[in-house]
Chain A
Amino acid sequence: MNQQPDGVSEGSAQRGGFAVEINGLYKWFGTFQVLSDINLKVRNGERVVICGPSGSGKSTLIRCINALEDYQRGEVVVEGVPLTHNLKRIDEIRREIGMVFQQFNLFPHLTVLENCTLAPIYVRKMPKSDAERIARKYLDRVRIPEQADKYPGQLSGGQQQRVAIARALCMSPKIMMFDEPTSSLDPEMVKEVLDTMVELAQEGMTMLVVTHEMGFARQVANRMVFMDAGQILEINTPAAFFSNPQHERTRAFLSQILKNA
């Protein structure tokens, strides 16, 4: 059912071959252990969908990758660059990763266009005219070029989330991470955001997506990751994951959410 993406067959054994490499990651909030023994390697061009019950640590995991969360043990390597506390290193990694949040987190005091050009201008040191040209290109791609001069508050939730995707793309990241991008949207707006993400996937973007949208997962994922209680319980191809899940907790979870869908 899935066209095999180039990234999977290309995957090389050497360290630089992975977009994201997580080895033996542990994280505690105070004494509460939120992530335990996380091992995950994401190849370039691969789409990985992470799902699991709420509180299972999915968001925390992807937030560790761009240093929005600290972790206590293990290592994270992004595009061959190991994540450390070095601020330069963190910046280097954040520049390669675009992130889309559940709550959009657009900057309400800036126009849509300014939201998109801010980081290219101040972080990538791009001339303003170039940044605006690129921003308009991506706004065009997420199909809201006519909203460029409005403020985020004037847009619908779905439009805001597409602006957030365009804003992240303007930094030309190598990897895109989505943290439950459709969870706070009205049902009528989920589709427009998912369509944008599907298009992005078809263009070969490396994507890590935390979502409960199983239709989307089936359509674009190369691999499914199932987490519960801070641990990865199962990593599988979507075909096997949905038709023949191996772990019993996965089966229980899937039967719950597919029953409601």
Chain B
Amino acid sequence: MIAVTEDDIFVRSQRVSVLPPPLAAAGPIGWARANLFSSPVNTLLTIAILALLVWIVPTLVRFLFIDATWSGADRDACLAGPHDEAGACWAFVRDRFSYFIYGSYPIGQRWRVDTFFAMLAFGSAWLLWLDAPRRDLGALYFFVVMPVCAYVLLNGWPLIGLQSVDTALWGGMLVTVVVTTVGMVASLPLGILLALGRRSSLPAVRILSALFIEFVRGVPLITVLFMASVMLPLFVPPAWAPDKLLRALTGIVLFSSAYMAEVVRAGLVAIPRGQYEAASALGLRFWRMQRLIILPQALRITIPNIVNSFIALFKDTTLVFFVGIFDFLKTIEVARVDPKWATPVTSATGYAFAAVFYFVFCFLMARYADRIEYRLARADRR
């Protein structure tokens, strides 16, 4: 038996006043100690990484900037170089820059491509800037107005004085941007439909959706592309045969929509059953419930994963060059073997340029996803 004495009983007579938190070891030294040298293993890692940076960064800087040739008319400029060491041949990139952007698009018509880029940049900014005014109009512009205009503009419409430009002439960043944008814009709605289909209570819809998703996911993209460009023409009469770019686009869209379906499905699974029940009890039918209640929540939590898929899609577009389409990487591939610029550093320069291009876009997408995530986390903390 425990005897409770008077000392064991406590009643607070005065509330404790609020104190500021104790100051941590502040300043740069404190920071370094906490973040870089907190344990022997961390100290070792810090030293190893510093050594790696010391080894790589100066070499890279010397190749890309110090020893680089910035201007010149042909290979002789890069062979000589400003110093003895061979640096990057940026003169080559400058000389072929318009080819990297437009491919073989007719020189006199390239303003059309520029206009398309401007329209796309405007539409993306409107849609991606979350506090922008009238984002509903922005969506209408991006998903309806712009695609139609872009098609007319790029493909041509002789009736209004825009001469036709065969897609075989399209190339460079133009193709990469078109394939990526169409892939993103088409795969999201298709992916949503497939995800809903896979969770449907109707067996036929469920089985077909699951079959499609599993089949496409079980096959490499390159196979899908070959199938789209080789097998598609077998099924339709020759006169109707879609052009090469459209075939590749179809393949990309089908492929990425299967991945998108699984991403969206993960979001749908995370929505509690109570949300469905509350919406049903209020009398909302399936599509309205999905549109107003379920998808807004599911898509919000999957934005980081959707962007991740978009990044993968953006890089996967390079595979279209296997079916004879001159995307950005392919134009570099072609240009670097041009005898006019044949030097030992041409290939390295071309690939460095490609790496920078892909990295910048992927990095921007990733940063954007981070910001959205941060914003949503803040919204959750409310």
Contacts and interface: CB of A to CB of B under 8 A. Distances in A.
A68 B297 contact: no
Nearest to A87: B285
B285 A153 contact: no
Interface in A91-136: 91, 94-95, 97-99, 101, 103, 105-109, 118-119, 122-123
A109 B278 CA distance: 14
Interface in B282-302: 282-285, 288, 292-293, 296-297, 300
Interface residues of A, number: 28
B274 A94 contact: no
Nearest to B297: A109
B281 interface: yes
Interface residues of B, number: 21
B277 A91 contact: no
B282 A118 contact: yes
A67 B280 CA distance: 9
A167 B284 CA distance: 13
A246 interface: no
B285 A68 contact: no
A151 B278 contact: no
Given A107-B293, A109-B296, A66 B382 contact: no
B115 interface: no
B380 to A, nearest CB: 7
B227 to A, nearest CB: 40
Contact of A94 (B280, B292, B300): B280
A66 B281 contact: yes
Given A107-B293, A109-B296, A122-B288, A101 B277 contact: yes
A98 B282 CA distance: 7
A101 B282 contact: no
A107 B284 contact: no
Contacts of B293: 107
Interface in B331-382: 379-380, 382
Nearest to B293: A107
Contact of A107 (B278, B283, B379): B278
Nearest to A119: B282
Name the residue among B275, B277, B284 with the largest chain A CB count within 10 angstroms.
B277
Contacts of B278: 99, 101, 105-107, 164
B382 A119 contact: no
A171 interface: yes
Given A87-B285, A101-B277, A101-B278, 15 more contacts: A67-B280, A68-B277, A91-B283, A101-B274, A103-B272, A103-B274, A105-B275, A109-B296, A118-B284, A119-B284, A123-B282, A167-B282, A168-B281, A171-B282, A171-B283
Interface of B: 272, 274-275, 277-285, 288, 292-293, 296-297, 300, 379-380, 382
Interface of A: 66-68, 87, 91, 94-95, 97-99, 101, 103, 105-109, 118-119, 122-123, 151, 153-154, 164, 167-168, 171
28 contacts: A66-B281, A67-B280, A68-B280, A68-B281, A91-B283, A91-B285, A95-B283, A97-B281, A99-B278, A101-B277, A101-B278, A103-B274, A105-B274, A105-B277, A107-B279, A107-B297, A108-B297, A109-B300, A119-B282, A119-B283, A122-B284, A122-B288, A122-B292, A151-B379, A154-B382, A164-B278, A167-B282, A168-B282
